[in-house]
Chain A
Amino acid sequence: MGWMAWTLPSAIFFSTIGCMLVGMTIWELRSPSISRRGFIPLETSRGDRLFISLLSSAFIHLAFVGFTDFSLLVPLTIAIIWLLIVMKWG
Protein backbone atom coordinates (compact mmCIF):
# COMPACT_ATOMS: atom_id res chain seq x y z
CA MET A 1 0.00 0.00 0.00
CA GLY A 2 3.05 2.24 0.22
CA TRP A 3 2.77 3.34 -3.39
CA MET A 4 -0.68 4.77 -2.71
CA ALA A 5 0.92 7.45 -0.50
CA TRP A 6 -1.75 7.30 2.21
CA THR A 7 -2.25 10.09 4.71
CA LEU A 8 -4.41 10.00 7.82
CA PRO A 9 -7.00 12.56 6.58
CA SER A 10 -7.52 10.77 3.24
CA ALA A 11 -7.74 7.39 5.02
CA ILE A 12 -10.44 8.80 7.33
CA PHE A 13 -12.22 10.31 4.31
CA PHE A 14 -12.34 7.04 2.35
CA SER A 15 -13.22 4.98 5.42
CA THR A 16 -16.19 7.28 6.02
CA ILE A 17 -17.36 6.90 2.41
CA GLY A 18 -16.83 3.12 2.65
CA CYS A 19 -18.81 2.92 5.90
CA MET A 20 -21.61 4.94 4.30
CA LEU A 21 -21.78 2.55 1.34
CA VAL A 22 -21.73 -0.55 3.55
CA GLY A 23 -24.34 1.01 5.84
CA MET A 24 -26.56 1.90 2.89
CA THR A 25 -26.24 -1.68 1.55
CA ILE A 26 -27.31 -3.20 4.88
CA TRP A 27 -30.15 -0.67 5.20
CA GLU A 28 -31.28 -1.45 1.66
CA LEU A 29 -31.27 -5.21 2.37
CA ARG A 30 -33.23 -4.77 5.59
CA SER A 31 -35.80 -2.42 4.07
CA PRO A 32 -35.58 -1.75 0.32
CA SER A 33 -36.01 1.94 -0.45
CA ILE A 34 -39.02 3.25 -2.35
CA SER A 35 -38.41 6.01 -4.88
CA ARG A 36 -40.20 9.21 -4.05
CA ARG A 37 -40.20 12.87 -4.93
CA GLY A 38 -39.07 15.48 -2.41
CA PHE A 39 -37.85 19.03 -2.92
CA ILE A 40 -35.40 17.82 -5.60
CA PRO A 41 -37.41 17.89 -8.86
CA LEU A 42 -36.70 14.20 -9.48
CA GLU A 43 -37.92 10.86 -8.28
CA THR A 44 -35.04 9.63 -6.16
CA SER A 45 -34.22 6.53 -4.14
CA ARG A 46 -32.14 6.59 -0.98
CA GLY A 47 -28.94 5.85 -2.92
CA ASP A 48 -29.68 8.62 -5.44
CA ARG A 49 -30.05 11.08 -2.60
CA LEU A 50 -26.75 9.97 -1.04
CA PHE A 51 -25.02 10.40 -4.41
CA ILE A 52 -26.56 13.85 -4.95
CA SER A 53 -25.60 15.03 -1.47
CA LEU A 54 -22.04 13.68 -1.69
CA LEU A 55 -21.46 15.23 -5.13
CA SER A 56 -22.86 18.58 -4.04
CA SER A 57 -20.79 18.38 -0.83
CA ALA A 58 -17.68 18.06 -3.01
CA PHE A 59 -18.61 21.24 -4.86
CA ILE A 60 -19.46 23.04 -1.60
CA HIS A 61 -15.95 22.21 -0.37
CA LEU A 62 -14.34 23.28 -3.65
CA ALA A 63 -16.21 26.61 -3.54
CA PHE A 64 -15.07 27.33 0.02
CA VAL A 65 -11.47 26.25 -0.61
CA GLY A 66 -11.19 28.12 -3.91
CA PHE A 67 -12.92 31.38 -3.13
CA THR A 68 -12.78 31.97 0.65
CA ASP A 69 -10.25 31.65 3.45
CA PHE A 70 -12.60 29.94 5.91
CA SER A 71 -11.50 26.87 7.84
CA LEU A 72 -12.51 23.54 6.30
CA LEU A 73 -14.82 22.96 9.27
CA VAL A 74 -17.27 25.52 7.81
CA PRO A 75 -17.94 23.70 4.51
CA LEU A 76 -17.82 20.36 6.35
CA THR A 77 -20.60 21.46 8.73
CA ILE A 78 -22.65 22.84 5.84
CA ALA A 79 -22.12 19.61 3.88
CA ILE A 80 -23.24 17.40 6.77
CA ILE A 81 -26.37 19.52 7.37
CA TRP A 82 -27.02 19.49 3.61
CA LEU A 83 -26.61 15.69 3.50
CA LEU A 84 -29.12 15.22 6.33
CA ILE A 85 -31.61 17.62 4.65
CA VAL A 86 -31.33 15.85 1.28
CA MET A 87 -31.60 12.37 2.81
CA LYS A 88 -34.68 13.36 4.82
CA TRP A 89 -36.61 15.72 2.51
CA GLY A 90 -34.85 15.48 -0.88
Chain B
Amino acid sequence: MLKPYTNKAWFLVLPVFLLVAFSAIIPLMTVVNYSIQDIFDINTRYFVGTEWYREILNDQRLIDSLVRQFLFSGAVLAIEIPLGIAVALMMPTRGIGSVASLIVLAVPLLVPLNVVGTIWQIFARADIGLFGWALNSLGVDYNYAANPVDAWFTVLLMDVWHWTSLVALLCYSGLRAIPDAYYQAARIDRASRWAVFRYIQLPKLKSVLLIGVLLRFMDSFMIYTEPFVLTGGGPGNSTTFLSQTLTKMAIGQFDIGPAGAFSIIYFLVILLLSWLFYTLMTRNDAK
Protein backbone atom coordinates (compact mmCIF):
# COMPACT_ATOMS: atom_id res chain seq x y z
CA MET B 1 0.00 0.00 0.00
CA LEU B 2 1.28 3.45 -0.82
CA LYS B 3 1.79 5.64 2.19
CA PRO B 4 0.50 9.19 1.97
CA TYR B 5 3.34 11.52 1.06
CA THR B 6 4.02 14.27 3.55
CA ASN B 7 6.77 16.80 3.99
CA LYS B 8 6.11 17.35 7.69
CA ALA B 9 9.10 15.20 8.69
CA TRP B 10 11.28 18.10 7.57
CA PHE B 11 10.34 19.89 10.78
CA LEU B 12 12.48 17.30 12.60
CA VAL B 13 15.48 18.95 10.90
CA LEU B 14 14.82 22.16 12.86
CA PRO B 15 17.33 21.45 15.71
CA VAL B 16 20.11 20.96 13.14
CA PHE B 17 18.97 24.09 11.37
CA LEU B 18 19.27 26.07 14.60
CA LEU B 19 22.76 24.69 15.18
CA VAL B 20 23.84 25.55 11.63
CA ALA B 21 22.24 28.97 12.00
CA PHE B 22 24.35 29.62 15.06
CA SER B 23 27.62 28.36 13.59
CA ALA B 24 27.30 29.30 9.93
CA ILE B 25 24.32 31.39 8.87
CA ILE B 26 24.61 34.18 11.46
CA PRO B 27 28.38 34.58 10.90
CA LEU B 28 27.77 34.62 7.15
CA MET B 29 25.12 37.33 7.55
CA THR B 30 27.61 39.32 9.62
CA VAL B 31 30.19 39.03 6.84
CA VAL B 32 27.60 40.34 4.37
CA ASN B 33 27.03 43.30 6.71
CA TYR B 34 30.77 43.95 6.93
CA SER B 35 31.18 43.76 3.17
CA ILE B 36 28.99 46.80 2.51
CA GLN B 37 30.52 49.07 5.14
CA ASP B 38 33.78 50.79 5.88
CA ILE B 39 34.48 49.80 9.47
CA PHE B 40 36.99 51.60 11.65
CA ASP B 41 35.72 50.39 15.02
CA ILE B 42 32.45 49.18 16.51
CA ASN B 43 30.94 52.68 16.64
CA THR B 44 32.55 54.19 13.55
CA ARG B 45 31.30 52.59 10.40
CA TYR B 46 30.05 54.00 7.12
CA PHE B 47 27.78 52.46 4.54
CA VAL B 48 29.65 52.21 1.22
CA GLY B 49 27.27 50.02 -0.83
CA THR B 50 28.95 47.93 -3.50
CA GLU B 51 32.26 49.80 -3.48
CA TRP B 52 34.26 46.94 -1.96
CA TYR B 53 32.77 44.45 -4.41
CA ARG B 54 33.72 46.71 -7.32
CA GLU B 55 37.24 47.08 -5.95
CA ILE B 56 37.70 43.36 -5.26
CA LEU B 57 36.33 42.21 -8.62
CA ASN B 58 38.85 44.45 -10.38
CA ASP B 59 41.75 43.57 -8.08
CA GLN B 60 44.48 41.84 -10.07
CA ARG B 61 45.79 40.09 -6.93
CA LEU B 62 42.43 38.40 -6.38
CA ILE B 63 42.03 37.43 -10.04
CA ASP B 64 45.55 35.97 -10.10
CA SER B 65 45.00 33.92 -6.97
CA LEU B 66 41.60 32.77 -8.24
CA VAL B 67 43.24 31.50 -11.45
CA ARG B 68 45.96 29.80 -9.40
CA GLN B 69 43.30 28.28 -7.17
CA PHE B 70 41.41 26.79 -10.12
CA LEU B 71 44.67 25.41 -11.57
CA PHE B 72 45.58 23.90 -8.23
CA SER B 73 42.17 22.33 -7.52
CA GLY B 74 41.97 21.04 -11.10
CA ALA B 75 45.43 19.47 -10.82
CA VAL B 76 44.60 17.98 -7.42
CA LEU B 77 41.43 16.34 -8.73
CA ALA B 78 43.08 15.20 -11.97
CA ILE B 79 45.90 13.47 -10.07
CA GLU B 80 44.30 12.26 -6.84
CA ILE B 81 41.05 10.75 -8.13
CA PRO B 82 42.58 8.40 -10.78
CA LEU B 83 45.53 7.64 -8.51
CA GLY B 84 43.23 6.87 -5.59
CA ILE B 85 41.14 4.51 -7.73
CA ALA B 86 44.29 2.80 -9.00
CA VAL B 87 45.65 2.34 -5.47
CA ALA B 88 42.30 0.95 -4.28
CA LEU B 89 42.22 -1.52 -7.20
CA MET B 90 45.71 -2.75 -6.39
CA MET B 91 45.17 -3.18 -2.66
CA PRO B 92 45.02 -6.75 -1.36
CA THR B 93 41.48 -7.78 -0.47
CA ARG B 94 42.09 -10.22 2.38
CA GLY B 95 44.67 -11.37 4.86
CA ILE B 96 47.30 -9.42 6.72
CA GLY B 97 48.19 -7.49 3.57
CA SER B 98 44.86 -5.69 3.49
CA VAL B 99 45.10 -4.66 7.14
CA ALA B 100 48.68 -3.48 6.68
CA SER B 101 47.87 -1.46 3.57
CA LEU B 102 44.87 0.14 5.28
CA ILE B 103 47.07 1.25 8.18
CA VAL B 104 49.78 2.58 5.88
CA LEU B 105 47.20 4.51 3.87
CA ALA B 106 45.60 5.98 6.99
CA VAL B 107 48.89 7.38 8.35
CA PRO B 108 49.10 10.54 6.16
CA LEU B 109 45.49 11.39 7.06
CA LEU B 110 46.38 11.43 10.77
CA VAL B 111 49.15 14.03 10.41
CA PRO B 112 48.02 17.58 11.32
CA LEU B 113 48.06 20.07 8.44
CA ASN B 114 50.84 22.29 9.77
CA VAL B 115 53.00 19.22 10.50
CA VAL B 116 52.52 18.08 6.88
CA GLY B 117 53.75 21.50 5.80
CA THR B 118 56.77 21.31 8.10
CA ILE B 119 57.65 17.75 7.06
CA TRP B 120 57.72 18.75 3.39
CA GLN B 121 59.39 22.06 4.11
CA ILE B 122 62.38 20.16 5.47
CA PHE B 123 62.08 17.03 3.29
CA ALA B 124 62.18 19.07 0.07
CA ARG B 125 64.97 21.49 1.03
CA ALA B 126 67.82 21.41 -1.47
CA ASP B 127 70.57 21.65 1.17
CA ILE B 128 69.51 19.37 4.03
CA GLY B 129 66.24 17.70 2.91
CA LEU B 130 66.41 14.10 1.77
CA PHE B 131 64.14 14.63 -1.23
CA GLY B 132 65.59 17.95 -2.40
CA TRP B 133 69.16 16.86 -1.84
CA ALA B 134 68.59 13.55 -3.69
CA LEU B 135 67.07 15.35 -6.68
CA ASN B 136 69.98 17.80 -6.83
CA SER B 137 72.49 14.96 -6.50
CA LEU B 138 70.84 13.28 -9.48
CA GLY B 139 71.60 16.41 -11.49
CA VAL B 140 68.09 17.95 -11.38
CA ASP B 141 68.23 21.65 -10.62
CA TYR B 142 65.54 21.77 -7.91
CA ASN B 143 64.90 24.52 -5.38
CA TYR B 144 61.31 25.14 -4.28
CA ALA B 145 62.22 28.35 -2.47
CA ALA B 146 63.50 30.05 -5.61
CA ASN B 147 61.78 28.45 -8.61
CA PRO B 148 57.97 28.79 -9.01
CA VAL B 149 57.69 25.57 -11.05
CA ASP B 150 59.50 23.63 -8.32
CA ALA B 151 57.32 25.27 -5.66
CA TRP B 152 54.15 24.21 -7.51
CA PHE B 153 55.52 20.72 -7.97
CA THR B 154 56.28 20.44 -4.25
CA VAL B 155 52.90 21.80 -3.12
CA LEU B 156 51.08 19.40 -5.47
CA LEU B 157 53.25 16.46 -4.41
CA MET B 158 52.57 17.28 -0.77
CA ASP B 159 48.82 17.41 -1.35
CA VAL B 160 48.90 14.13 -3.31
CA TRP B 161 50.91 12.51 -0.51
CA HIS B 162 48.50 13.80 2.09
CA TRP B 163 45.10 13.21 0.51
CA THR B 164 45.30 10.44 -2.12
CA SER B 165 44.83 8.00 0.79
CA LEU B 166 41.40 9.46 1.46
CA VAL B 167 40.25 8.78 -2.11
CA ALA B 168 41.89 5.34 -2.02
CA LEU B 169 40.19 4.38 1.27
CA LEU B 170 36.80 5.60 0.03
CA CYS B 171 37.21 3.63 -3.21
CA TYR B 172 38.44 0.57 -1.32
CA SER B 173 35.29 0.53 0.81
CA GLY B 174 33.20 1.03 -2.34
CA LEU B 175 34.94 -1.88 -4.08
CA ARG B 176 34.43 -4.18 -1.09
CA ALA B 177 30.70 -3.48 -1.21
CA ILE B 178 30.31 -4.96 -4.72
CA PRO B 179 28.69 -8.43 -4.43
CA ASP B 180 30.71 -11.32 -5.84
CA ALA B 181 27.86 -12.25 -8.17
CA TYR B 182 28.80 -9.36 -10.47
CA TYR B 183 32.33 -10.71 -10.89
CA GLN B 184 31.02 -14.24 -11.45
CA ALA B 185 28.71 -12.96 -14.18
CA ALA B 186 31.65 -11.10 -15.73
CA ARG B 187 33.75 -14.28 -15.70
CA ILE B 188 30.98 -16.23 -17.41
CA ASP B 189 30.84 -13.55 -20.10
CA ARG B 190 34.65 -13.66 -20.30
CA ALA B 191 34.77 -9.92 -19.75
CA SER B 192 38.21 -8.31 -19.96
CA ARG B 193 39.80 -6.61 -16.94
CA TRP B 194 39.00 -3.23 -18.49
CA ALA B 195 35.34 -4.20 -19.08
CA VAL B 196 35.01 -5.31 -15.44
CA PHE B 197 36.40 -1.96 -14.35
CA ARG B 198 34.37 0.12 -16.78
CA TYR B 199 30.98 -1.60 -16.43
CA ILE B 200 31.02 -3.02 -12.88
CA GLN B 201 33.53 -1.31 -10.63
CA LEU B 202 33.36 2.28 -11.85
CA PRO B 203 29.52 2.53 -11.80
CA LYS B 204 29.46 0.96 -8.33
CA LEU B 205 32.09 3.43 -7.14
CA LYS B 206 30.04 6.40 -8.25
CA SER B 207 28.57 7.33 -4.86
CA VAL B 208 31.88 7.14 -2.99
CA LEU B 209 33.62 8.99 -5.82
CA LEU B 210 31.01 11.74 -5.53
CA ILE B 211 31.93 12.17 -1.88
CA GLY B 212 35.63 11.94 -2.74
CA VAL B 213 35.47 14.54 -5.52
CA LEU B 214 33.38 16.94 -3.43
CA LEU B 215 35.61 16.60 -0.35
CA ARG B 216 38.83 16.97 -2.33
CA PHE B 217 37.45 19.87 -4.34
CA MET B 218 36.21 21.83 -1.34
CA ASP B 219 39.31 21.07 0.71
CA SER B 220 41.76 21.96 -2.04
CA PHE B 221 39.79 25.11 -2.87
CA MET B 222 40.11 26.23 0.74
CA ILE B 223 43.73 25.11 1.21
CA TYR B 224 45.67 27.39 3.51
CA THR B 225 47.97 25.82 6.10
CA GLU B 226 50.14 23.51 4.04
CA PRO B 227 51.35 25.95 1.33
CA PHE B 228 51.56 28.68 3.97
CA VAL B 229 54.01 26.58 6.02
CA LEU B 230 55.80 25.08 3.01
CA THR B 231 56.39 28.09 0.76
CA GLY B 232 54.71 31.00 2.54
CA GLY B 233 52.96 31.66 -0.78
CA GLY B 234 56.21 32.23 -2.62
CA PRO B 235 58.47 32.53 -4.44
CA GLY B 236 56.86 35.89 -5.19
CA ASN B 237 53.13 35.14 -5.17
CA SER B 238 53.39 31.96 -7.23
CA THR B 239 51.80 29.65 -4.64
CA THR B 240 49.55 32.19 -2.90
CA PHE B 241 46.07 30.71 -3.07
CA LEU B 242 42.72 32.38 -2.39
CA SER B 243 42.49 31.79 1.35
CA GLN B 244 45.99 33.17 1.89
CA THR B 245 45.22 36.32 -0.08
CA LEU B 246 42.05 36.66 2.01
CA THR B 247 43.86 36.18 5.31
CA LYS B 248 46.49 38.74 4.35
CA MET B 249 43.73 41.23 3.60
CA ALA B 250 41.54 40.53 6.65
CA ILE B 251 44.06 39.93 9.41
CA GLY B 252 47.32 41.31 8.02
CA GLN B 253 45.91 44.64 6.85
CA PHE B 254 42.65 44.56 8.87
CA ASP B 255 40.63 45.60 5.81
CA ILE B 256 37.41 44.06 7.12
CA GLY B 257 35.17 45.54 4.42
CA PRO B 258 37.10 44.36 1.33
CA ALA B 259 37.86 41.06 3.07
CA GLY B 260 34.12 40.60 3.69
CA ALA B 261 33.33 41.25 0.03
CA PHE B 262 36.12 38.85 -0.96
CA SER B 263 34.71 36.17 1.39
CA ILE B 264 31.23 36.47 -0.10
CA ILE B 265 32.57 36.10 -3.65
CA TYR B 266 34.73 33.16 -2.55
CA PHE B 267 31.71 31.55 -0.88
CA LEU B 268 29.54 32.02 -3.97
CA VAL B 269 32.19 30.42 -6.21
CA ILE B 270 32.51 27.40 -3.89
CA LEU B 271 28.72 27.11 -3.60
CA LEU B 272 28.28 27.22 -7.38
CA LEU B 273 31.02 24.68 -8.11
CA SER B 274 29.94 22.27 -5.36
CA TRP B 275 26.37 22.45 -6.59
CA LEU B 276 27.54 21.83 -10.18
CA PHE B 277 29.66 18.82 -9.17
CA TYR B 278 26.85 17.37 -7.11
CA THR B 279 24.22 17.92 -9.79
CA LEU B 280 26.34 16.58 -12.64
CA MET B 281 27.32 13.47 -10.71
CA THR B 282 23.82 12.63 -9.42
CA ARG B 283 21.92 13.71 -12.53
CA ASN B 284 21.37 10.22 -13.90
CA ASP B 285 20.37 8.67 -10.58
CA ALA B 286 16.97 10.30 -10.47
CA LYS B 287 15.81 8.69 -13.72
Contacts and interface: CB of A to CB of B under 8 A. Distances in A.
Interface residues of A, number: 25
Contact of B37 (A3, A7, A13, A65): A7
A67 to B, nearest CB: 7
Residue of A4, A29, A35, A67 ringed by the most chain B CB atoms within 10 A = A4
Contacts of B286: 35, 43
Given A7-B37, A32-B5, A59-B268, A66 B32 contact: no
A74 interface: no
Interface in A1-47: 2-7, 9-10, 13-14, 28-29, 32, 35, 42-43
B11 to A, nearest CB: 9
Contact of A7 (B47, B54, B283): B47
A32 B10 CA distance: 12
Interface residues of B, number: 30
Given A32-B7, A42-B283, A4 B33 contact: yes
A72 interface: yes
Nearest to B267: A58
Interface stretch (B69-77, B191-199, B271-279): B271-279
A59 B58 contact: no
Contacts of B39: 5
Contacts of A13: 32
Contacts of A14: 29, 32
Given A55-B268, A55-B271, A65-B57, A28 B7 contact: yes
A62 interface: yes
Interface in B136-187: none
Contacts of B206: none
B283 A62 contact: no
B54 A4 contact: no
Nearest to B48: A7
A72 B50 contact: yes
B40 to A, nearest CB: 12
Contact of A62 (B5, B34, B53): B53
29 contacts: A4-B33, A5-B30, A5-B34, A5-B37, A5-B39, A5-B45, A6-B33, A7-B36, A9-B49, A10-B29, A10-B32, A10-B33, A13-B32, A28-B7, A29-B7, A29-B8, A32-B5, A32-B7, A42-B283, A55-B268, A59-B272, A62-B53, A62-B57, A65-B50, A65-B53, A66-B53, A66-B54, A66-B58, A72-B49
Interface of B: 5-8, 26, 29-30, 32-34, 36-37, 39, 42, 45, 47, 49-50, 53-54, 57-58, 265, 268, 271-272, 275, 279, 283, 286
Given A58-B268, A66-B57, A72-B50, 16 more contacts: A3-B42, A4-B26, A5-B42, A6-B33, A7-B37, A7-B47, A9-B36, A10-B32, A13-B32, A35-B286, A43-B286, A51-B275, A55-B271, A55-B272, A55-B275, A65-B57
